[in-house]
């Protein structure tokens, strides 16, 4: 008989895990707290490891990417509000694929809904979540609740995969309270989709306005209006959740009077939805306990500054499938192999995230100045590379 796994959460990690499990001959069942599949979301840059994982999961052909030609133009706004050439997220090494979070989820959904893939449709139960998890050793008994009716029922599984995000309920129930694993980064984000580009910029331009402690990033896309990230640092994270987020953003960004900030603050008031949240990293000594394993943000959230959360969630699902295939009938060995293969990659990106945070939102005026110098040098190096490529051998330098 096929082994059954419960996957909690139908985000990137959950669906990637479900496909990986199915590739290993398991029967996954997904439960998702939301009443239906979510769409849209914010800009995500998918790195080479994530794109390879999409290939391994067989969903790369379904992935809609939105890169403007040559990564598009990126502009940096000065303190006076003037624009100068900048370095956008898409210009970093690795040539990230520009997508919305929902584009990755849509591709994975194709993978689990059985359209053209082997293994048929995965059982997905919306408006459902676990309320108790009991690992008896032989199997895991899970008490599930239907959020619509309140009905509860118990079901046994050979494995439970907690892919239920940063504030994972599976982690809390099986591993312990959030405070034991979520590190606080004293920073906030607000992410949403623009209806229109910032006035006077080209449709696919990216715009960055980064000051000490606060920054606005506009991510230009090829085939739709950009998405926005407002991010700022604060010593009072709890206080940020009191009152209206929009009013709070207006207060935090007051005095930063450039076109990107003005447009973003006006647009967030009209946005049908936006994400307003604090920034954390999840650090755990182990990602599995018996027959319960965590994956994605639930296990290792590297956070948005790392730019690796979606990539590592895809990779985690694909690698879980691989480890189970390579260790059939040996769950403990498979989970140990999976974790030891993945952990160096996650550790590296969790560490780099601190440095990347300085690029997203510098911590002080000196950090802001240093950031500008580093980026100017990067632009000069990029121009030199381009000139060299154009001329074949001769070296030409464009003004930055
Ligand atoms: C603004 C922003 C920008 C980002 N940019 C990038 C980027 O450029 N590159 C990159 O790689 N990553 C990026 N990330 C990170 C990336 O989006 C996340 O790491 C990734 O989406 C996490 O996926 P996940 O499936 O682990 O968790 P989630 O997306 O949080 O999914 C968890 C799912 O579980 C469900 N759930 C929760 N609780 C329960 C429950 N009790 N029962 C059932 N279901 C439950 C939720 O409804 C949800 O569907 C960014 C993140 C943000 C916020």
pLDDT in tens, 126-153: 999 999 999 998 899 999 999 999 999 9
- Cα(165) to centroid(ligand 1), Å: 5
Q: Cα(303)–Cα(316) distance, rounded to whole angstroms?
A: 15
Measured from the CB, is residue 105 less than 6 Å from ligand 1? Answer: no
Percent of the chain at pLDDT above 70? 96
What's the chain's average pLDDT?
Answer: 94
Q: Cα(51)–Cα(62) distance, rounded to whole angstroms?
A: 12
Which whole-number Å values give the CA distances from 160 to 106, 108, 126, 127, 171, in the listed order?
Answer: 23, 19, 17, 18, 11
Taken in order of first residue, the domains within the chain and their CATH numbers are 4-65+99-181+281-356 (3.50.50.60), 69-95+194-278+363-375 (no CATH)
- Cα(16) to centroid(ligand 1), Å: 12
- Cα(297) to centroid(ligand 1), Å: 6
Choice from 103, 295, 304, 353 to test ligand 1 binding pocket (greatest atom count within 8 A of CB): 304
Q: Are 127 and 148 contacting, i.e. CB atoms less than 8 angstroms apart?
A: yes
Measured from the CB, is residue 88 less than 6 Å from ligand 1? Answer: no
User: Which atom, in ligand 1's list, is nearest to the CA of 15?
Assistant: 25
- Cα(12) to centroid(ligand 1), Å: 7
Q: Return the residue whose CA atom lies nearest to atom 2 of ligand 1.
A: 304
**Nearest residue to 324 via CA among 58, 29, 21:** 21
Beta-carbon count within 10 A of 68 CB: 21
Strands 292-294 and 159-162: parallel
- Cα(309) to centroid(ligand 1), Å: 8
User: What SS3 class is residue 366?
Assistant: helix
Measured from the CB, is residue 13 less than 6 Å from ligand 1? Answer: yes
User: What SS3 class is residue 75?
Assistant: strand
Q: Are 315 and 342 contacting, i.e. CB atoms less than 8 angstroms apart?
A: yes
Percent of the chain at pLDDT above 90? 86
- 37: buried, middle or exposed (CB in 10 Å: 19+, 13-18, 0-12)? middle
Lowest mean pLDDT among 40-54, 69-83, 212-226, 384-398: 384-398
- Cα(230) to centroid(ligand 1), Å: 18
Lowest mean pLDDT among 92-106, 109-123, 243-257: 109-123
pLDDT, position 395: 46
Residue 115 has pLDDT above 80, yes or no: no
pLDDT, position 173: 98
- Cα(371) to centroid(ligand 1), Å: 28
pLDDT in tens, 14-54: 999 999 999 999 999 999 999 999 988 899 999 999 999 99
Which whole-number Å values give the CA distances from 141 to 132, 153, 165, 251, in the listed order?
Answer: 8, 10, 21, 49
Measured from the CB, is residue 302 less than 6 Å from ligand 1? Answer: no
pLDDT in tens, 273-331: 999 999 999 999 999 999 999 999 999 999 999 999 999 999 999 999 999 999 998 99
pLDDT in tens, 372-396: 999 989 888 878 887 888 786 544 4
């Amino acid at each position: 008989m096929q082994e059954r796994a419960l996957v909690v959460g139908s985000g990137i990690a959950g669906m990637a895990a479900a496909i990986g499990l199915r590739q290993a001959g398991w029967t996954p069942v997904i439960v998702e707290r939301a009443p239906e599949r979510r769409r849209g979301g914010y800009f995500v840059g998918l790195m080479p490891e994530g794109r390879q994982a999409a290939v391994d999961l067989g969903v790369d052909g379904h992935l809609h990417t939105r890169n403007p030609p040559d990564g598009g133009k990126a502009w940096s706004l000065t303190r006076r509000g003037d624009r100068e050439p900048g370095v956008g997220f898409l210009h970093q090494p690795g040539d990230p694929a520009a997508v919305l979070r929902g584009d990755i989820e849509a591709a994975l959904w194709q993978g689990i809904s059985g359209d053209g893939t082997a293994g048929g449709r995965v059982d997905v139960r919306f408006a459902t979540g676990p309320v108790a998890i009991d690992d008896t050793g032989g199997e895991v008994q899970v008490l599930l609740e239907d959020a619509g009716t309140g009905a509860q029922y118990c079901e046994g599984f050979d494995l439970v995969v907690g892919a239920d995000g940063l504030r994972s309920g599976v982690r809390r129930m099986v591993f312990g309270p959030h405070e034991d694993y979520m590190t606080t980064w004293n920073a906030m984000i607000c992410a949403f989709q623009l209806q229109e580009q910032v006035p006077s910029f080209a449709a696919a331009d990216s715009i960055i306005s980064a000051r000490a402690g606060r920054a606005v990033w506009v991510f230009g896309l090829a085939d739709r209006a950009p998405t926005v990230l407002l991010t700022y640092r604060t010593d009072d994270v709890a206080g940020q959740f009191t009152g209206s987020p929009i009013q709070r953003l207006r207060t935090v960004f007051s005095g930063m009077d450039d076109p990107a900030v003005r447009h973003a603050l006006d647009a967030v008031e009209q946005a049908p939805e936006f994400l307003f949240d604090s920034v954390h990293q999840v650090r755990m000594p182990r990602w599995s306990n018996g027959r319960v394993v965590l994956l994605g943000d639930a296990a290792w959230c590297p956070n948005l500054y790392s730019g690796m959360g979606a990539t590592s969630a895809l990779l985690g699902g694909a690698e879980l499938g691989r480890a189970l295939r390579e260790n059939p009938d040996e769950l403990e060995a498979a989970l140990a192999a999976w974790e030891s293969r993945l952990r160096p990659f996650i550790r590296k990106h969790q560490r780099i995230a601190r440095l990347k945070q300085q690029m997203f939102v510098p911590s002080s005026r000196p950090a802001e100045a240093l950031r500008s110098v580093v980026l100017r040098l990067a632009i000069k190096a990029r121009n030199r590379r381009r000139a060299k490529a154009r001329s074949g051998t001769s070296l030409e330098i464009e003004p930055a």
